[in-house]
Amino acid sequence: MPALSWRSDGSADAPPLVLLNSVGSSTAMWTPCIAPLSERFRVIRIDTRGHGDSPPSPPGSPCAIDDLAGDVLATLDGIGLDRVALAGLSLGGMIGMWLAVHAPERISRLAVLCTSAHLEPLQLWADRSAAVREKGTEAIADAVIARWVTPGFAERDPVAFRAIRAMFTAVDAESYAQCCDAIGGMDQRSDLARVAAPTLVISAEHDPATPLPHLKLIADRIPGARLEIVDGASHIATYEQPARVAALLIDHFRGGGTTAAGYAVRREVLGDEYVDAALSATTPLTAGFQDFLTRYAWGEVWTRPDLSRRERSIATLAALVTLGAEHELTAHVRGAVRNGLTPAEVVEVIQHLAIYAGMPRANRAVAIARDALDRGEDRSS
């Protein structure tokens, strides 16, 4: 197979997170979740053969789950990634489970969403691949998409619904049929106990394609796996509950703060100059504290999913102004701007605090903020 198409979002220095799509979709199915994920990870989305921008699979090409997994491994080799966290939905989850069993050195953590280790009836997949080979994906589009989203989704979000349908009908018919054959021929149930990567299993409340018993079986057989159910969503849960899905993935893949992740976030918020100065001032006496600060505050707390960085900056400014922590305020004023606050909003936050923290501290904080923002503008001009 020619190389698969892939795209990357987020900092190149962030921990890599690979996302795999369902059969009949493309990496666009992850778009509603990308913003929060790419704040914390280098998100790499890989299109299955014949899906999205990946080249089609010629008739007669070998296409079992191991072949599709081989495509992913070859793509990761081409990118230069040896070990990654991976999340896959439906077919993407099937590929992810195969990789976790047969290439465990490549998968650090795994999440599988709305998927199965074995899907019956097998005749359904044979009939579907035959129909698509004869008439194209348009012939089955409405029936398939009715299982992807909950009733009423088209009325609630007609733009998204049209985009989903267009994504499905754009898939190469032969590649889609081959992937259906791969699903019909798959049975990974006996292999699940061999998955060693920490695993999150996500089921969607209204998913008729891979209902809860399929996900429960996976969670029961993978040692230590955790099962979560997303309410108010069907098979492609990333469209109907993107915030919930992203929060679950962030919580799972964060896996505890690390120094490397902490430094990445610390630099993004406070800037390289500030962090480099802090590091240059580190001594053997203070090195342990610097590691603790970076790992715990920046790698653990600042990466938690329930508040955005913008919201965390507002909370941090409130604490620093109230405490009179002037030595920290300049860096966090500039960090707040990096996290999306305007200079006017920074001053508005401080003005609000004058009521609760006291006028003298707010007055001093406004002066510090003015100087910090003025100097920041001078450096960028």
Would you say the C-alpha torsion 105, 109, 113, 118 has a positive or negative sign? positive
- Is 317 among the domain residues? yes
Same-domain check for residues 68 and 166: yes
Domain termination site, one of 225, 254, 283? 254
- Is 292 among the domain residues? no
Q: Specify the CATH number for the domain of residue 184.
A: 3.40.50.1820
Same-domain check for residues 230 and 325: no
Q: Distance between CA atoms of 71 and 182, rounded to whole angstroms?
A: 14
Q: Distance between CA atoms of 271 and 9, rounded to whole angstroms?
A: 20
- Is 339 among the domain residues? yes
Same-domain check for residues 188 and 312: no
- Is 191 among the domain residues? yes
Same-domain check for residues 243 and 315: no
List, as own/partner pairs, every contact residues 211-214 make where C-beta atoms lie below 8 angstroms and the sequence separation is at least 24, other chains included.
Answer: 214/115, 214/116, 214/117, 214/119
Per-residue pLDDT of the chain (381 residues; tens, 9 = 90+): 668 999 999 989 889 999 999 999 999 999 999 999 998 899 999 999 999 999 999 999 999 999 999 999 999 999 999 999 999 999 999 999 999 999 999 999 999 999 999 998 888 899 999 999 999 999 999 999 999 999 999 999 999 999 999 999 999 999 999 999 999 999 999 999 999 998 999 999 999 999 999 999 999 999 989 999 999 999 999 999 999 999 999 988 975 556 777 888 899 999 999 999 988 999 989 988 988 888 788 887 887 766 889 999 999 999 999 999 999 999 999 999 999 999 999 999 999 999 999 999 999 999 999 999 987 543 322
- Is 296 among the domain residues? no
Same-domain check for residues 242 and 113: yes
- Record the pTM: 0.70
Residue appearing with tokens 């990761």: 76
Judged on CB neighbours under 10 Å (0-12, 13-18, 19+), 281 is exposed
Same-domain check for residues 239 and 354: no
Residue 118's domain comprises 6-254
Read off the tokens for 365: 């904080």
Please count the structural domains in the chain. Answer: 2
Domain termination site, one of 210, 225, 254? 254
